[in-house]
Structure 1
Amino acid sequence: MGFVLKPAALPSVAVENSTDRFAVRRIFCVGRNYAEHAREMGHDPDAEPPFFFNKPADAVIDSGHTIPYPAATIELHHEAELVVALGAGGAFVSTDKAKALIWGYAAGNDLTRRDLQAEAKAARRPWDMAKGFDNSAVVGPLRPAVLGKPSGRIRCLVDGKLTQDADLGEMIWSVAGIIGHLSRLVTLQPGDLIFTGTPAGIGPIARGQLCEVQIDGLQPASVRLV
């Protein structure tokens, strides 16, 4: 069997201290997983289970790149997040078995066209074009899970100015809880990435600025806009 068009290159992300790369199958993102961020977006953090949205796999981009400022927005926002990479899959995974699915962890930035998201919310339309645009999933090098689960601070800096600063322990839903819940909605697969939510302090990135997400124990996820 052949293809009528040449298949696209397989999306992938870097692996810490290795020339090997991690092939990306799908990207899932968790909405409002830190209480203060839920409140700054006008929601009650105690009233809702986790919800999810997607980015295309080829929206992923390695840390250290310079990218064009996205079209169709004047309000590009950063969202610092812990990213989980799955090395195994499954459906209806219990939280006590979720850890076994994790291949690695990375710092990530869920870039968002906030003005398009606000318009979509007001019109009760999908967020796809607000979240799933080119280069919108910035991911730092993956650290294998065998080296331990990250803990400590998650931060975002824009041109060196601190904009987000929280503790990973402030997540409403734990990584295992996220995996377990998501596995009841879809059958998870090796190669899936999960962005686990952002803390309070989301804000704009302007043309020419450098945005860097830092998580204790992980290499940063940085991107410059031009």
Structure 2
Amino acid sequence: MRILLVEDNQALAEGLSTILRGSGYAVDAVADGASAEAVAAAEAYDLVILDLNLPEMDGLDVLRAMRARANKAAVMILTARGTPEERVKGLDLGADDYMIKPFDISEFEARIRVLLRRQAGLRSSIVNYGGVTFDLNSRTFSSQGVTLDLPAREVALLELLFLRAGKVVSKDAIMASLTGFDDDLSANAIEQYVSRLRRRLAPHGLTVKTARGIGYYLETTAPTA
């Protein structure tokens, strides 16, 4: 899952970016409204976390521009502007959630999980496919009650394939979802992650199939010993 964080307070932006990356999300951070509007127009995000008091362009104008382009990313407004009028305006312009600073980190993370679950079209935080269960809240995979020990990048890749099980996910979509501006991830690296996932999933009734020249998809299979 890829997140755009729009926050002009550098310390807060760095802190939130660290927390989000620690949860396995790919995060891009920008500090002004004009950059946010340009990046949101050029890149695909699952979620935009948007401050309102921004240099160069107000956050509500960024939101208005996004929705005018039919940008379907979930938007969480995160701001000190908390009057009822401001909240109503933000929600009416197309925000999916509105959170007031200062805020509780646990609640912030929980709201993000809700928004991303909604983006994926899921009602429950527990998803089953083949012999594997995915818990969106803890972002862990398990089989027969035993947690699969996966590195963060493989968790992110499997999550992307798992939530689109049976459908081909293009290599470009995988690259965009797994990386932020500052990440360096090659096509060869993705192939290595896929190869490792195949080996890890084989005993649990899942495999990652290749759609030649297009991308990858998840499919059930007979568990291996």
More strand by share: 1
Which structure is larger by alpha-carbon Rg, 1 or 2? 2
Bin of the TM-score, shorter chain as denominator length: under 0.3
TM-score (norm: length of structure 1) = 0.23
Q: Which has the higher helix share?
A: 2
Give the number of the structure with larger relative contact order, counting CA–CA contacts within 8 Å between residues 6 or more apart. Answer: 1
